[in-house]
Amino acid sequence: MNLLTRGFISTVIAADLLAVVYFGGTYILTGSMLPHAEAPHIIVAGAEDASSTAASTPKAAEPAFDSTTYIANVENGMKVAAKCKACHTFENGGANRTGPNLWGIVGASVAHINGFAYSSAMVAKKAEFGTWDKEHLNAYLESPKEYVPGTKMQFNGIKKPAERADLLAYLETLK
């Protein structure tokens, strides 16, 4: 081994030692051999989690609606009622439009406005269950055409149970 080779080898050893100290130090400090690898790794891991959950459960089921524990929001119900205002007024003594005025509708009789031209389907419901309690209103407002086949109310319904609960809470204040 000549002097040159020895010099080379010790340089290599020194470089190795440096590397061990450098990467070892980085490892101790950050938990990773590669400097700065940690932060992007966390972001990627999070993204993977989100996408893999979405992929395995494409339609993540909404938590089941529980009417016994749900706390209805009157203010939100007022916003939902905006969908009705093309056809209904809500004020005491308000005019009938395409649909009848809805002041006091919770607890009122079905077809509650004398002189409004209700469909015969609605008049039949008056004979069938009589009063708009919250259960009947809830079912009608979910799907008017299914609950009162032949109704004149051209409205698809409020499909989200929480929105209907909010709407009903608002309707209850109209008395």
The nearest distance, CB 134 to ligand HEC, in angstroms, is 11
Give whichever of 48 and 146 is closer to ligand HEC, judged by the CB atom. 146
Phi-psi region of 113 (alpha: psi -120 to 50; beta: other; left: phi over 0): beta
Which positions touch ligand HEC (CB under 6 A)? 83-84, 86-88, 98-100, 102, 105, 110-113, 118-119, 121-122, 132, 137, 141, 151-155, 158
The nearest distance, CB 163 to ligand HEC, in angstroms, is 9
Q: Which of 55, 155, 52, 49 is nearest to 99 (CA)?
A: 155
Decide: 122 and 154 in contact? Cβ < 8 Å.
no
The nearest distance, CB 129 to ligand HEC, in angstroms, is 11
Give whichever of 134 and 152 is closer to ligand HEC, judged by the CB atom. 152
Decide: 98 and 86 in contact? Cβ < 8 Å.
yes
